[in-house]
Structure 1
Amino acid sequence: MVTHNTRPSAAALAAWSKSFLAGQDPDIRDALLGDSRVVTYPAGAIICTGGEDYKVALVHSGQVRAKVTSWDGREVTTRYITPGHITAVPAMLTNGAPSSVEAVTTCEVSILNPNTFRRLLRTRADLCYQVAVYLAESTYEAVLNLEENLFGSVQQRVSRHLLEMAVQTVNGLVVQTDQTDLANAIGSVREVISRALKKLSDAGAIRRYRREIWIEDPNLLRTFASPQPDLPGPKPRDAGEGR
């Protein structure tokens, strides 16, 4: 569903207030949101495919993910995008993006006009500086994600993705996914994911039910996601112990 903005909706204004542009003057906000259109995507929908097909989108609700796909069809998630985030800012400046973006859950976004955004950047130094800071922070975030994907174990990556994908409900934190989707998200295979999930379930960190994974103990799951987990279980003996 597509709705063209004449006046920014309450959802768009709330999302803007969470974005990195929240401190900008209202005239910048009104110019960008006033020249946008609101779109609702169902879960699993492709929002853009990468390359020159990019969309600068302010997320109102739901969750989307950016992913890269290899020539043989394998996928790796580069980041999860939640309300208040704006997609494809680098792509807007370089006229292309290496990753595609899809809806993880049903989501609503404001599709911003990149031409309007670029015009404002050419005339507003304060906006340029804010975007530069955002791009620098995004670069550091990308490096950290790359480090985790290259050097982190499957157990760490699965745990981290579950924490990032979790949605708060009245019954607790839940992730709407299955083993195949999770394997695609981290660039692994279903059998390996199954073993990682079983370990988390046996430890009491999660509970599985069909296509739902309920996070029973977020702190324990964060321990599994850490680079050097300090997990419950037998401790290594001292060198002289038992002699």
Structure 2
Amino acid sequence: MSLFGQDRSFLHALPASDRRDLLAEGAPRGYEPGEIMIRERDTSAYVLALLSGWAVVSVTTERGARLILALRGAGEVVGDLAAVDRGPRSATVTALSRIEAVAISGDRFRRFLAARPHATSLIMRQLATRLRSADVERRSLASETVLQRLAARLVELAERAGRRAETGTVLELPLPQHDLAAAIGATREAVAKALRLLREQGVVRTANRRVVVVDMPVLVLLAQGRTRPGAESSDKPPPAV
């Protein structure tokens, strides 16, 4: 499962001239932390090209809970699905930090893609990656523990948005516990319990909206479901059954 898109974002994968042409089609927009940029089920069709900052993509479940699907950063576009198929918005996009973006109308975005097969291919590849990620997410929700899913999210955040420090890897994204819970399909209480286990075993340290990964190898093993806090590692094979 992955909160992030492809290693190379849509804007960065475009030739420089195409990127300039696309951005010239829109108007600059700024969003403050917590501000809704795109609302689920809305019928608008504009696309936002992110120039800086981080945004959270989420949906509301049938039970009214919030489920975070992805994090989107500089170089990525959001709102492209509704622009392409002209259907209602499939998710809500909320600013996690201060964001600078360019808003491009759906009509102009479609014309841009129609004139550039390479850009269309990039968008199709992006949509396919998101679909595959959603399939993996459904499997993990059905088969993995809260601790395993949380460990996987923390590993990913450390690898994609972490800063190395003397004490470990500092997660730079200011995700509070309720957002971590929404990112793994769990309750805030379950995430708090899992974080407490990780702290007690010296795997992570936490503060207000701050997580430091102290023992990455153990966290990776937890994400793979191969060990648990407090369990002693062993090279011996499991007994035959």
Partner SS for 1:176: coil
> Which residue pairs with 1:62 in the alignment?
53
Q: Secondary structure of 2:78's match?
A: coil
Structure 2 counterpart of 1:201:
199
Partner of 2:131: 139
Query: Normalising by the residue count of structure 1, what TM-score does the alignment of the two structures yield?
Result: 0.77
Partner secondary structure for residue 123 of structure 2: helix
Query: Aligned AA for 1:39?
Result: R
In structure 2, how many angstroms separate the alpha carbons of the residues matched to 1:106 and 1:217? 31
- Conserved? CA contact 1:57–1:112, under 8 Å: yes
Partner of 1:11: none
CA-atom RMSD, angstroms? 2.9
Are 1:157 and 1:186, in contact at CA under 8 Å, matched by a contact in 2? yes
| Larger deviation, residues 193-202 vs 98-107 | 98-107
3-state SS in 1 of match to 2:111: helix
Shift of 1:71: 4.2
Identity of aligned pairs, percent? 23
Q: 1:111–1:128: structure 2 CA closer, same or farther, 3 Å change rule? A: same
**Number of residue pairs aligned between Structure 1 and Structure 2:** 223
1:51-200 aligned at under 5 Å gives the runs 51=41, 52-53=43-44, 55-95=46-86, 96-166=88-158, 167-169=161-163, 171=165, 172-174=169-171, 175-200=173-198
Structure 2 unpaired stretches of 5+: 1-7
1:6-21 counterparts in 2 under 5 A?
Answer: 18-21=8-11
Alpha-carbon distance in structure 2 between the residues aligned to 1:214 and 1:121: 41
Could you tell me how far apart the structure 1 residues matched to 2:227 and 2:18 are? 47
Unaligned runs of 5+ in 1: 1-17
Shift of 1:100: 0.7
- Rounded to whole Å, the distance in 2 between the matches of 1:181 and 1:21 is 27
Contact 1:75 1:184 in 2 (8 A): yes
Specify the structure having the higher radius of gyration (Cα): 1
> Do 1:48 and 1:55's aligned partners in 2 also have CA atoms closer than 8 Å?
no
1:35 has 2:25 as partner: yes
